[in-house]
Amino acid sequence: MGSIDGRVALVTGAGQGIGRAIALKLAAEGARVVVNDIDADAAHDTLETIGKAGASGVAVVGSVTDEEFAPRFVRTAVDRFGALDIIVNNAGYTWDGVIQRMTDEQWEAMLAVHVTAPFRILRAAQPVISGLHRAEREAGVTRTRKVVNISSISGLDGNPGQVNYSSAKAAVVGLTKTLSKEWGRYQVTVNAVAFGFIQTRLTQARSVDDGHITVAGHEVRVGMPDERVSELEAAIPLGRAGTPEEAAGAVYLFCAPESDYISGETVVCGGGYHF
């Protein structure tokens, strides 16, 4: 029996990296997880791992930026499991550039995936959550639900070359604070986790993999120069980058019942590091 046994959780971008670690952590604690990723193979791999661990889940493949995605995502949770308890808005990527070289498309892509997509998912979830809360109140039952939005220390402190990403992640904080005030009446806590330097394909040294990802037909370079990785690790008080599992642990803190009276907060998971 886990601390969130039987809860139904939505996790976007759960095919790999931090999102996968979040989905596996929630499943290990007893949640039934609706796994999303744009990569069908990655989504189903996470789902298979969840199943092998004895937990339940379902995959919803697709881009969170598609207009029809949010209702389909939420509907899958209700149709498959009859409930909705936890929403983790994790999906995202970076598309860097200094402002004078940044295109409108780069700017709008970051807002779309990091701000508009969570907004649409939460908007689609509202009728479900309010309806469940109303039924529980009439039955004399109290149930606290959870929303965890993913921000970044880039959104809190800014980061050169990331005016689009930093702006989007700053907006996530505003979304979080506002929704915590709107949804308190439904017994929903809304918090954010701002990640620092976490080991993922987006942050790995380019000597390891000088790679690219393809998003909406665009090839986006990922990773960082080796010297930048070394500089960041040296600046982190704990002396190293965080793991996806440690990042997932920070998200889980806001999903566990021990955090039922914490809402509207942003916690930094960065080993003590700030820009």
DSSP states along 228-248: HHHHHHHHSTTSSPBPHHHHH
The pair of three-digit structure tokens given for residue 133, joined into one six-digit string? 């809360």
The backbone region for 11, taken as left when phi is positive above 0, alpha when psi lies in -120 to 50, beta otherwise, is: beta
Query: Taking a C-beta distance cutoff of 8 angstroms, is the pair 81, 60 a contact?
Result: no
Which residues lie closer than 8 Å to 249 by C-beta, 6 or more apart? 25
Query: Taking a C-beta distance cutoff of 8 angstroms, is the pair 78, 135 a contact?
Result: no
CB burial of 164-179 (b: ≥16 within 10 Å; e: otherwise) equals bbbbbbbbbbebbbeb
* Distance (Å, whole) CA 223 – CA 98: 16
The residue from 165, 252, 261, 273 that is catalytic is 165
Query: Taking a C-beta distance cutoff of 8 angstroms, is the pair 110, 165 a contact?
Result: yes
Query: Taking a C-beta distance cutoff of 8 angstroms, is the pair 215, 109 a contact?
Result: yes
Give the up-direction half-sphere exposure of residue 113: CA atoms within 13 A in the CB hemisphere. 22
Whether 165 is catalytic: yes
Catalytic positions = 165
